[in-house]
Amino acid sequence: MMKTVIFSFQFIIQVFVALGAFVSGLLIILYPSGKLLEMSVELLNNSPFNNFLIPGIILLLVNGVGQGTAAVLTIRKHEYAGIVGATFGLGLIIWIFVQVNIIGGGHWLQYIYFVIGVIETALSFLIHSFLKNSK
């Protein structure tokens, strides 16, 4: 029963992150000025970017497609679900660290996604253990 709850919760987290990142990344790619999402390119003054195109592509691929892939592996209880989940959980944490260092911190969404990344990573180690011991 507990394993089912952990796999289900992990799946929900991964789908939540994937959908948000996919939609946001796509909107940023289509409108790299950031205005559609009410972001100013001035946020990127301390970065190597002059618009949000490259960050949008990374967001879409890593946190969108990557988390979506992790979700599929999790729901299927694939042998690599734990490893892939941990990889993208850590990727989410790194994304937030880089974001805070480039554009600054303090937005409530940064805290939420950081905690989600930590939870996803921790659950991934449990999932990896469950899958490894079920062989």
Query: Positive or negative CA dihedral for 71, 77, 80, 86?
Result: positive
Q: Are 116 and 95 in contact (CB under 8 A)?
A: no
| Per-residue confidence (pLDDT) for residue 105, from 0 to 100 | 85
Token pair 């679900």 is found at: 81
The predicted-structure confidence for 19-38, as pLDDT tens digits, reads as follows 999 999 999 999 999 988 88
What does the domain layout of the chain look like in residue ranges? 2-133
| Per-residue confidence (pLDDT) for residue 18, from 0 to 100 | 98
* Nearest-angstrom CA–CA distance, 52 and 134: 44
The pTM of this model reads 0.92
30-44: b or e for each residue (b if 16 or more CB lie within 10 Å)? Answer: ebbebeeeebeeebb
- Below-50 pLDDT ranges, the chain: none
| Per-residue confidence (pLDDT) for residue 1, from 0 to 100 | 84
